[in-house]
Amino acid sequence: MKSNATAQAVAELAKVSQSAVSRSFTPGASVSEDTRARVLSAAKALGYRPNALARSLITRRSHIIALVMGYLENQFYPLVIQELSQKLQRQGYHVLMFITEAGEPTDGVLAEILQYQVDAVVMASAMLSPGLARQCADTGVPVVMFNRVPQMSSFAGSSTSSVTSDNRRGGRMVAELLLARGYRRIAFLGGLENSSTHRERERGFNEALAEAGTAAVGRALGHYDFERAREATRELFSGADKPDALFVANDHMAIAAMDVLRQELQLRVPQDVGVVGFDDVPQAAWGAYQLTTVVQSVEQMVDATVDVLHEQMRDGSQPRNVVIPCRIVERATVRSA
């Protein structure tokens, strides 16, 4: 049944050595046109394809990249899977998916990742503890954080790179836009306290507010979860001095917030309250939401990630932290000038 032809079988049929078969499938190896042709035709006859596992054992490169993710509800991440796998595939690499259960990979999944001899790991929508990062570094497998940044101090000496957009700048831009459009009681609906995107976005936002001589009138956490973002919105609007605008740390939660605003609180967007998100997922453009948001280009971020990956895999050079510029796309959730 399993008709897995081996290089040996091909060699016999083609009447050459097994080494010749191997060379015929190795780009740049020295084989004459003639033998390569004979080998290739024998291989085709037998349905032979080199065993990638055996090859990896020798070459010490599996051409497998581990992609670790915590949750895919936020459409941003599926897009990352798609872009990253496609780009990597075109270059002969493949993605081994790891979905963490609790948001943070355990020693267990890390061990498995390492057992599969992956050439590198990219962490997206999941955090790597300093201990695990160290373990990767010790094994020599480069890790790049996608859309998050390691806690600096504890990662000294590890080979953890990162690719993020300019979250701080994005946060600033949101505050400036909202202020310019006359909103005065602006609240922040964040994600998770220990998330670097959350922190940087809030920081830039608060800085710009402070420079304008004001401050946020409210703050609540949605934990990057749809339902909890709804609750956070109710919380923000439960007091006496209600916000007239919301900066939400990502689109996924911004949409949840809009649902509550319009349907439970009977508030009009953008007249009664302005809303700005972050990411620009496809849903942000849907007719019923038309969310004004900060654009993070998945494509640019993935391109940068792949560059860093190659660089790190090639020469294990110093870790890099790439920051991609972002911009606001105005749709219909902030009133016009």
Of residues 220, 214, 216, 221, the one with CA closest to residue 244: 216
Q: Is 310 in the site for DNA (CB under 7 A)?
A: no
Residue among 8 and 106 whose Cβ is closer to DNA:
8
Residue 20 site contact among DNA, a second copy, none (CB < 5 to 8 Å, cut-off depends on kind): DNA
Nearest distance in Å: CB 36, DNA: 7
Nearest distance in Å: CB 230, a second copy: 9
Nearest distance in Å: CB 159, DNA: 20
User: Which residue of 40, 50, 104, 310 would you call a contact of DNA, by CB under 7 A?
Assistant: 50
Residue 26 site contact among a second copy, DNA, none (CB < 5 to 8 Å, cut-off depends on kind): DNA
Could you say which residues in the range 2-31 bind DNA, by CB under 7 A? Answer: 4, 6-8, 16-20, 22-23, 25-26, 29-31
Burial of 66 (0-12, 13-18, 19+ CB in 10 A): buried
Residue 89 site contact among DNA, a second copy, none (CB < 5 to 8 Å, cut-off depends on kind): a second copy
Residues at the site binding a second copy, with contacts judged by CB under 8 A = 1-4, 47, 49-54, 56-57, 60, 62, 64, 67, 71-73, 75, 77-79, 81-82, 85-86, 89, 94-99, 101, 109, 111-112, 114-117, 135, 138-140, 226, 255, 258-260, 262-263, 282-283, 286-289, 316
Residue 62 site contact among DNA, a second copy, none (CB < 5 to 8 Å, cut-off depends on kind): a second copy
Nearest distance in Å: CB 120, a second copy: 13
Enumerate the H helices of the chain as residue ranges: 7-14, 18-24, 33-46, 52-59, 76-90, 107-115, 130-139, 167-180, 196-211, 226-236, 251-259, 298-315
* DSSP-derived secondary structure for 108-163: HHHHHHHHTT-SEEEEESS---HHHHHHHHHHT--EEEES----TGGGTTS-EEEE
Region of 316 (left: φ > 0; alpha: ψ -120 to 50; beta: rest) is: left
Residue 79 site contact among a second copy, DNA, none (CB < 5 to 8 Å, cut-off depends on kind): a second copy
How far apart, in Å, are the Cα atoms of 199 and each of 158, 221, 258? Answer: 22, 12, 22
Q: Is 55 in the site for DNA (CB under 7 A)?
A: yes
Q: Is 140 in the site for DNA (CB under 7 A)?
A: no
CB 46 within 8 A of CB 5: yes
Nearest distance in Å: CB 168, a second copy: 29
Burial of 160 (0-12, 13-18, 19+ CB in 10 A): buried
Nearest distance in Å: CB 103, DNA: 30
- Separation CA 244–CA 247 (nearest Å): 10
Q: Is 48 in the site for DNA (CB under 7 A)?
A: yes
Cα 80-82-84 angle, rounded to 5 deg: 65
User: Which residue of 41, 44, 45, 51 would you call a contact of DNA, by CB under 7 A?
Assistant: 51
Of residues 154, 177, 158, 174, the one with CA closest to residue 166: 174
Residue 7 site contact among DNA, a second copy, none (CB < 5 to 8 Å, cut-off depends on kind): DNA
Q: Are strands 292-295 and 245-248 parallel, antiparallel or unpaired?
A: unpaired
Given the rule CB under 7 A, which residues bind DNA? 4, 6-8, 16-20, 22-23, 25-26, 29-32, 34-35, 48-51, 54-55, 57-59
